[in-house]
Structure 1
Amino acid sequence: MARPLVRDEEGVSTFWSFVGVLVLVAAILAVYFVYVVPKSGHAPLRAQNGDDVKVDYIGRFENGFVFDTSLQSVAEDNASYTKAFAFSWRGTWQPLSFAIGAVPLAVIQGFDVGVQGLAVGDAKTIVVPPNLGYGAADPTKIIVKPLFENVPVRVTMNESDFANTYKTPAVSGSNVTDPFWGWSAYVSVSGSIVTVTNSPVPDQTVHPYDQWDARVVSVDDGADNGIGRIVVHHLLDGSAVDRIGTRSAPGTVVFVVTAVDLAAGTYTLDYNNPVRGRNLVFEVTMVAITRVA
């Protein structure tokens, strides 16, 4: 008599387990050949000496103030990117193009070295010390001044110096405006000597360099052997650092306020190029690399 057909449950289970293993192995191999092999076989081009590159960047001082950028979006965004006084607007905004290792270098050394090894799309923060940047500051161009400044009531000069200072001939009995402080002054002429008597009033607000407020604290007409003394308080604090300065007519920075020490009662004017003598922080993104044969 024929044996009845019986389902071999153990055999079926073994078969499907084998199929499952095959599927898993196939999936692993697919991932390997699709993702791993291509990457290991095609390493990205990384910037090296001799390459022509294009780089976007944001340049900051260590206090975070932006002094330069290649990005118009950063230039226009003052809320997120506080600008230093040294920052200048320009007509076009585009990535910085240069040859790495050019002779002479096309960019400062710290920047040139810092972008090497980056692939397109890579971002990096580069800190450039003065010796790899724009060099040390000239200490003779850094001037520390008192927040409470003494100014003479009476100043004597010759007619030529008067004309150069006040941009008008000296006329006895006339009144002029001091070009620096903005207060009124009385002119008297004796021979070739011109005496200018400054005439501010206590609590008057003046504007040195046309950049910040100062207050006339007191006027002592008889102090300093009759020369007289005006005490002026420069109303500066830490918020002025790297944010206030002056420019020449073409737009070149003349000086920047780089320190205000309320405890010492001083402020500092730096007549160096604003990027000299400072650690500079660059946030860079590699945009393009051209390998020169």
Structure 2
Amino acid sequence: MRYRRLDLNLLVALDVLLEESSVSRAAERLNLGQSATSAALGRLREHFQDPLLVPVGRGLQPSALARQLAPRVRELLLMTDALVETTAEFDPARCERRFTLMASDYVAATLMPAVSRALRRLAPGASLVVRELSRSRDGDQVAEALEYRRSDLAIVPQRRINPAYPHAALLDDALCCIVCAAHWPVGQALTEVRFREGEHVLREFADGQTLSLEAQHLRDIGIERRVVATVQNFALMADFVVGTPRIATLLRRQAEALAQRYPLHVLPAPVEFPPAAQALQWHPQQAGDPMLAWFRQLLLEQATQL
């Protein structure tokens, strides 16, 4: 569709091109060939009478006009999404929407299977996409998920909430430790001395810099651990603990789930950690979307049942 000589479909391409500052990466996200994406950029340049993306070093950067256009184009597309999805009356049984959210592997393992089962029962025509919470350049996981990745929702630790987006408390949990049952007699407590002197398996984020809750707290109170193995997924921690005297610290719900599948003991942490809460966030432009409002309520209900 054209509006004042501009093919409105090009606005989607413009949004992605300005986010990526790369024709090849934009083509991948748009599921287009690189030549077709280059052609779209050419038509946009012709319409706006501006290069939009200019060479800087070995890459491209948005022009001054492009930086002005980017937030306006994004807002327009979000409003369009909300308009298209709006119905007079929402019936979950007739819903065919694809709900997309980003969450940690902890949330994906503990909450999302139950949500998927509830979605199948209540809205059998809907589908669910759970993506790993991405590391953003500036540390803002919420904006990364909702703006850049175009997810419907983001579930993040309470301490990482972005106040610019609406949020709701979702899950509370507490940190504990897992040890191999064969190397840890039943009833033996994990003391702070053994915790300090023991071998530890650590969950580390992909960027190698962002600290998990327990790592940040231990650093703050001056406790150093002897880390002998580092993994990027909570579920892998059990594999690196079983058959060894090692210790891993993780959230209780996931620890108990792992203990059902592995020969592990779940022990209270000998160090007092801060609460580990998770929050649900969404884009303010989608606050009135009846389907997303229903899905948010479904998430909250399933979380309370845990």
State the TM bucket, normalised to the shorter chain.
Answer: under 0.3
Larger Rg: 1
Greater relative contact order, per chain length (Cα 8 Å cut-off, separation 6+): 1
Q: TM-score, normalised by structure 1?
A: 0.24
Q: TM-score, normalised by structure 2?
A: 0.23
Larger helix proportion, structure 1 or 2?
Answer: 2
